[in-house]
Homo-oligomer: A and B are copies of this chain.
Amino acid sequence: MVEVVGTAPTSAMFITKFVYRRSWKSNTNNIKLYFKDSIYLLKIMLTEDQKKEITEQQNQKNITKRVISPELEKILYKAIPVLDHGFVRVVDYMGDDSSIVQAARVSYGKGTKKISTDSGLIKYLMRHRHSTPFEMCEIKYHVKLPIFIARQWIRHRTANVNEYSARYSILDKEFYLPTKQNLAAQSTNNRQGRGELINGKQADDILQILKKDAEQTYTNYELMLNEKYDGSIIDEHNKGLARELARMNLTLNTYTQWYWKTDLLNLLNFLSLRADNHAQYEIRAYANVMTESLKKWVPITFEAFMDYRIGGMELSAKGKDVIQKMLRGQPFDFEKSKLSKREWNELMESFGFKEHIK
């Protein structure tokens, strides 16, 4: 059995998953953060060399005058598993909660006077969207992820990225295959979402197709390269097709990897979009693990983020008008509200009412 590097059996890590609801979606039970054991320890294919390299990094003990984030230090460099072959590793960071305070005050010393003061300031900044002080912290991840997810992720432009180059190197023989719990049919009322689960033989058939096609296209990738994943030549008499061409035969569930660095503000933007339940499950799995690292890194900011962004909601001018009328016991109805049916229903759901318009 291959263990997650750096995780002793007794400290086996169970990554929790947030389930929350946000703006414009109903939430009959108010904001809740269900912490579930959801991502079990999958086997990450790390070579002995990779494991050794990670361990060496974890054993570094350097003395610095910079601020540190003690909880984040504990998981630094660890490969935390996501999906079937992916992982997230925090590989570097700069600053902590006090850095936000320090920048907001443009102070000469360390920001922290008292925790309570700092916490109040951070909440104030978050509430009023005074966003620049949050840009003063930076974090860097090493991520392994399927290509079709990488294509969603890269749309966040205010980050720095170095991706493993398939022009230069041969990609690993690893593809994402969903678990049966994630094999959902197309949603019937949401053009870009999932509906009910697919079960039985159809599920088996689909998984079979995905596996077979990925393996076949990868085998043909090696064949065209005239070189196997392990570097061995297939036919001494043939040339190999250029790597930049051969890669086009791979399927979109092939894993790639990258270094991804961003400031705290843009990390929060990423998480509020990608940890949202409208996001595709596969990217949410990454966002959830990264939300955990956020909590360890900047606990005060994390709390403000959960209160004002994740658990909060937005009201339109028209929506607010309806709520005000309800609060004052004034008459209100759908027609006078000028809301669309969809907006009306979303609003009612948000506040836990069942009066839907069809």
Contact = CB atoms under 8 A, between A and B. Distances in A.
Q: Which of A136, A147, A163 has the most CB of B within 10 A?
A: A136
Interface in A80-115: 91-95, 99, 102-104, 106-110
B160 A263 contact: yes
A77 interface: yes
B327 A327 contact: yes
A109 B57 CA distance: 6
A292 interface: no
A226 to B, nearest CB: 9
Interface in A172-199: 176, 178, 182-187, 191-196, 198
A63 B68 CA distance: 8
A319 B327 contact: no
Q: Which of A56, A220, A328 has the most CB of B within 10 A?
A: A220
Interface in A141-177: 142, 146-148, 150-151, 154-155, 157-158, 160-165, 167-168, 176
As for how many copies of this chain the complex holds, the number is 4
**Interface of chain A, helix or strand or loop or mixed?**
mixed
Given A65-B61, A138-B138, A220 B224 contact: no
A220 B213 contact: yes
Interface in A232-249: 238-245, 247-249
Nearest to A135: B160
A99 B92 contact: yes
A148 B197 CA distance: 31
